[in-house]
């Protein structure tokens, strides 16, 4: 057995391996993840059908057991007992990194509380796949999972995030994506947004624009596939905009052109390039 482990000497317990799996394209799996799946004693998976497809692709033949949101605490206890008896268990979600908006966190927390080693095997993650290509600020962001399903709760949820200046990321199903975009527009106004649909799959799409345009786009055509949504954070308060203007004037006085100055301000402010460019036009209009 060559699984990664740093368990204390004399420990008879196994370990929990939190293994990232592809979010679509089956080639998006690491060599380390494949080795872990081949060598573990048991694979606990959110969706056995999806996992068996992956295992078949790479000729991996290990015992699998179902572990999902309806399993309840008893299944977590059963897996904990297996690890306590010296078994190495690999935890995989339906797609991406376990514990991110899926029930894996319950088992992970139980293992940590029991003093059992939890080893991450990194890899694909839908929200991190979208963020770098969204065109939005990547220096500061916050992930909010799936928005509430009920309209009233959803409206209050987004209103509570109205002053958040970091880039906001969400997961959403195709059946609710239009209602979610409409609620965002109502709560925040017409901010820049990027939507990742069917990421890494045959019909992958990254749609970029403003929230109002996104509502129109996905009213005209039926949303298909799972979505990741990235939305620009709130602009800085007016009093901070004055400081930003002073910083811009200082940069220009040092010889930077607008393009270079805007790049610096995007990094220092957390605003998007579009937002900073709009402010620069305002400042120039005053002169």
Report the 3 state secondary structure along the chain.
CCCCCCCCCCCCCCEEEEECECCCCCCCCCHHHHHHHHHCCEEEECCHHHHHHHHHHCCCCCCEEECCCCCHHHHHHHHHHHHHCCCCEEEECCCECCCCCCCHHHHHHHHHHCCCEEEEECCCCHHHHHHHHCCCCCCCEEECCCCCCCHHHHHHHHHCCCCCCCEEEEEECCCCHHHHHHHHHHHHCCCEEEEEECCCCCCCEEEEEEHHHHHHHHHHCCCCCCEEEEECCCCCCHHHHHHHHHHHHHHHHCCCCHHHHHHHHHHHHCCCHHHHHHHHHHHHHCC
The per-residue pLDDT string of the chain (287 residues; one tens digit each, 9 = 90 and over) reads: 457 665 444 456 899 999 999 999 999 999 999 999 999 999 999 999 999 999 999 999 999 999 987 666 788 889 999 999 999 999 999 999 998 888 888 899 999 999 999 999 999 999 999 999 999 999 899 999 999 999 999 999 999 999 899 999 999 999 999 999 999 999 998 999 999 999 999 999 999 999 999 999 999 999 999 999 999 998 765 447 788 888 999 999 999 999 999 988 887 776 777 778 888 888 887 65
Q: pTM value?
A: 0.78
Which homologous superfamily is 15-124 in?
A: Tetrapyrrole methylase, N-terminal domain (3.40.1010.10)
pLDDT value of position 2: 59
pLDDT value of position 10: 45
Which homologous superfamily is 128-231 in?
A: Tetrapyrrole methylase, C-terminal domain (3.30.950.10)
**Domain limits, the chain:** 15-124, 128-231, 238-285
pLDDT value of position 69: 72
pLDDT value of position 8: 45
């Amino acid at each position: 057995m060559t699984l990664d482990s740093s368990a204390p000497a004399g420990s008879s317990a196994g370990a929990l391996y939190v293994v990232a799996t592809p979010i679509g394209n089956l080639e998006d799996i690491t060599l380390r993840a494949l080795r872990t799946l081949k060598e573990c004693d048991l694979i606990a998976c959110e969706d056995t059908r999806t996992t068996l497809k992956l295992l078949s692709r790479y000729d991996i033949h290990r015992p699998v057991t179902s572990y999902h949101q309806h399993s309840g605490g008893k299944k977590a206890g059963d897996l904990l007992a297996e690890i306590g008896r010296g078994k190495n268990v690999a935890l995989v979600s339906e797609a991406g990194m376990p514990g991110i908006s899926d029930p894996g966190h319950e088992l992970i927390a139980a293992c940590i509380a029991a003093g059992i080693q939890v080893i991450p095997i990194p890899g694909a993650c839908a929200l991190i796949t979208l963020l770098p290509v969204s065109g939005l600020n990547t220096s500061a962001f916050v992930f909010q999972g799936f928005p509430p399903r009920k309209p009233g709760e959803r409206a209050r949820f987004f209103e509570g995030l109205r002053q958040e200046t970091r880039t906001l990321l969400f997961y959403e199903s195709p059946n609710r994506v239009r209602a979610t975009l409409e609620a965002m527009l109502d709560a925040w106004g017409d901010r820049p947004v990027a939507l990742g649909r069917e990421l890494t799959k045959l019909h992958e799409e990254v749609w970029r624009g403003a929230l109002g345009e996104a509502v129109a786009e996905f009213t005209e055509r039926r949303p298909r596939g799972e979505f990741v949504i990235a939305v620009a954070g709130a602009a800085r308060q007016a009093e901070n905009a004055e400081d930003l203007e002073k910083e811009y004037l200082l940069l220009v006085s040092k010889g930077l052109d607008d393009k270079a100055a805007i790049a610096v301000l995007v990094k220092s402010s957390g605003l998007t390039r579009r937002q900073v460019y709009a402010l620069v036009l305002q400042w120039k209009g005053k002169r």
